[in-house]
Amino acid sequence: MATSTKGEEEQKGGGGSSSSSSTIHAKTLLKSESLYHYILETSVDPREPECLRELRRISAAHPRGVMASAPDEVQFLGMLLKILNAKNTIEVGVFTGYSLLATALALPHDGKILALDTNRESYELGLPVIHKAGVAHKIDFREGPALPLLDQLLADEKNKGTLDFAFVDADKSNYLNYHERLVELVRVGGVIAYDNTLWGGTVAAPPDAPLSEPDRMLSEITRAFNSTVAADPRVEISHLSIADGLTLCRRLG
Ligand code: SAM
Ligand code: CA
């Protein structure tokens, strides 16, 4: 029988109040549930800002709540943004705004995030929390398919090399198209982070693994993306096994 991965385009999310609720194991590829709980209990729970906790709960209650990033992953992204001194950023794929809020909290007061999503409705679920957190002024949300919006940005030479950071977490079939645009939009030394690059671990599954058709297709797309960026001389990469896989591409000069 074909099995479905824990992939975000497939699964329904469960509720959960603390980050250590058992449903949250869907958000990691770690083999040991207790080890993942340990990470959440020792690093996320004591540090997670109340607004992120609130938006995580709102997102988990959504029928497609599994699409929201993992709490340890957004904690990592927040620290990465601070290490980079990021100010000018973009997010492709917003959903309820959970990773967006984590980004907004990590940026300085005059930081900016261009947030792209085809669906404004789900963003509006998180918007009251974003306002309450006092970071809405950093966000410029644009509704629509991301690719033409990125092309619009690229059409203006002045935008090239201006982004410090990009987080890509939308339609996986466009990741390579996003990469071609973003590699020109980020500055030298800037980072593009691609989410779900291990696709539930299926990228390493044997050819006869009993995967559902959507998973087989997404797994193939993800493998093609991974091998293309690994061979791209314009970036250096690091493929992290956090959450569902996160690939960092740092633009080289
Ligand atoms: N980054 C969010 C987080 O961590 O909370 C989760 C984003 S969710 C996995 C993917 C989002 O991508 C959905 O909200 C969907 O509407 C959006 N999306 C799908 N195709 C898109 C496209 N072509 N352009 C822009 N957004 C798209
Ligand atoms: Ca994701």
Q: Is the CB of 98 under 6 A from ligand 1?
A: yes
Topology of the domain comprising 30-251 = Rossmann fold (3.40.50)
**Consecutive H or E run containing 212:** none
- In one-letter notation, the amino acid at residue 216 is R
Confidence (pLDDT) at 31: 86
CA of 80 to the centre of ligand 2 (A): 17
Predicted ipTM > 0.85:
yes
Pocket test for ligand 1, best of 125, 171, 177, 222 (most atoms within 8 A of CB): 171
Confidence (pLDDT) at 9: 58
Confidence (pLDDT) at 15: 33
Q: Is the CB of 67 under 6 A from ligand 1?
A: yes
Q: Is the CB of 7 under 6 A from ligand 1?
A: no
CA dist 91 and 226 (Å) reads 20
Per-residue model confidence as pLDDT tens digits over 119-176: 999 999 999 999 999 999 999 999 999 999 999 999 999 999 999 999 999 999 999 9
Considering every ligand atom, which ligand is closest to the CA of 144?
Answer: 1
CA dist 48 and 58 (Å) reads 15
Residue nearest to atom 18 of ligand 1 (CA): 170
Residue nearest to atom 11 of ligand 1 (CA): 93
Confidence (pLDDT) at 60: 96
Percent of the chain with pLDDT over 90: 87
Confidence (pLDDT) at 171: 98
CA dist 149 and 179 (Å) reads 14
Ligand 1 atom with the smallest distance to the CA of 97 is: 5
Chunked mean pLDDT (size 10), the chain, 253 residues? 48 39 68 94 97 98 96 98 98 98 98 98 98 98 98 98 98 98 98 98 94 95 98 98 98 95
CA of 95 to the centre of ligand 1 (A): 5
Q: Is the CB of 117 under 6 A from ligand 1?
A: yes
**Consecutive H or E run containing 89:** strand 88-92
Confidence (pLDDT) at 16: 37
Confidence (pLDDT) at 26: 73
* Spans of all domains in the chain: 30-251
Confidence (pLDDT) at 22: 44
